[in-house]
Amino acid sequence: MHVLSVVGARPNFMKVAPLLHRLAARGHASSLVHTGQHYDANMSDAFFRDLGMPEPDHHLGVGSGSHAQQTAKVMAAFEPIVQERSPDVVVVVGDVNSTLACTLVCSKLLIPVAHVEAGLRSRDREMPEEINRLVTDCLADLLLTPSPDADENLRAEGVAEERIVHVGNIMIDSLVAQLPRARSSDVVTRLGQRPGEYGVVTLHRPSNVDDPEVLGGVLDALRDIAREVPLVFPCHPRTRERLAEVPGGADGLLLTDPLGYVDFMALVADSKIVLTDSGGLQEETTWHRIPCVTIRENTERPITITEGSNVLAGTDPDQIRTLAAQALKTPRDEHPTPALWDGKTADRIIDALEAWSEGPRPR
């Protein structure tokens, strides 16, 4: 097969890297398109290096803009590339604007699409990612799911059974592959911390950082928590701009620039608690069994709550404080990780692509 994979934003890189490595090992041709939705070197180039990913065959360089502008730029730039390459299948991952844009292009050109991380639902259409998930799963030919709840979501939406394949969580492939390197990172001592005696914070969602009142309340809670345990805050560039608009900002927190994948993974692996609005971190902390307080009203990854160490706090400062205090008193859970979160998902994806390419292809 010739498999064309698409990445656009940092969470995509950890999902595509294992797939590229295994495609090459199994003798399939592959090409990579980077839309440039994340264009900061600290958030893109460093991750490519850490994950051992090849240079993209095409870099679209779309940059920032409104959702409509970004989606339109990706579509216009991607269409001639996919026509020229004429792949057997295009693999899209996750739920960013690039995922939706490239799926739309391929659907209109009748080029098959496989969606990795299909079927996740937050039930919140105010989240732009939820719209991207719904439309991508409606149009994609093959839906590759990370967890049983995702399969059930797709069945409830009337998706044909032959389009659904439960393959497991490919982000864990990257985590397992890079964990030995992370163990040799000195990032914890470099930041003046001791293993197991600090927490990690990430915030980036517009619903949390664009409203000064919401952001101010979250920061109030984080500053209180930081009196109990030091909090390291690798800060998204967009979030850093918003911090300056809130009285007190990140006072009391250890603010850093974004970290590369290996350093960030090392930082999380040795932490005592994680407070985040990231979907991927909910999964990584579940694998590590590190207490995670998610600063959102909902999650598209409920398995991190039912089988993991994740709790939803919303944005209420008192609830964030209460759940963080409980988490800090809770020893790390040692129960097994969810099924198929074993570092072998990329091979199962390729198995599914091979089987699908040899059989009938219902649209």
In a domain, 176, yes or no: no
User: What's the pLDDT tens digit per position in 168-177?
Assistant: 999 999 999 9
Strands 292-294, 113-116: pairing is unpaired
CATH code of the domain containing 305: 3.40.50.2000
Burial class (CB in 10 A: 0-12, 13-18, 19+), 176: middle
Strands 89-93, 231-234: pairing is unpaired
User: What's the pLDDT tens digit per position in 174-220?
Assistant: 999 999 999 999 999 999 999 999 999 999 888 999 999 999 999 99
Whether residue 14 sits in one domain with residue 58: yes
Whether residue 281 sits in one domain with residue 191: yes
In a domain, 57, yes or no: yes
Pair 116, 136: CB distance under 8 Å: no
pLDDT at 44: 67
Whether residue 146 sits in one domain with residue 191: no
Whether residue 138 sits in one domain with residue 8: yes
Whether residue 202 sits in one domain with residue 78: no
Whether residue 233 sits in one domain with residue 86: no
pLDDT at 358: 85
At residue 38 the predicted structure's pLDDT band, cuts being 50, 70 and 90, is: low
Whether residue 313 sits in one domain with residue 257: yes
Whether residue 146 sits in one domain with residue 281: no
Whose structure tokens read 């990231």?
Answer: 278
DSSP state of 65: -
Whether residue 253 sits in one domain with residue 321: yes
Supply the residues annotated as catalytic: 204
Whether residue 349 sits in one domain with residue 274: no
At residue 48 the predicted structure's pLDDT band, cuts being 50, 70 and 90, is: confident
Cα atoms found within 13 Å of the Cα of residue 261, Cβ hemisphere only? 29
**Domain span holding position 29:** 2-168+341-358
Whether residue 260 sits in one domain with residue 350: no
Region 43-65: mean pLDDT is: 85
Instruction: Count how many domains the chain has.
Output: 2
Concatenated DSSP letters of 186-254 = -HHHHTT--TTS-EEEE---HHHHSSHHHHHHHHHHHHHHTTTS-EEEE--HHHHHHHTTSTTTTTTSE
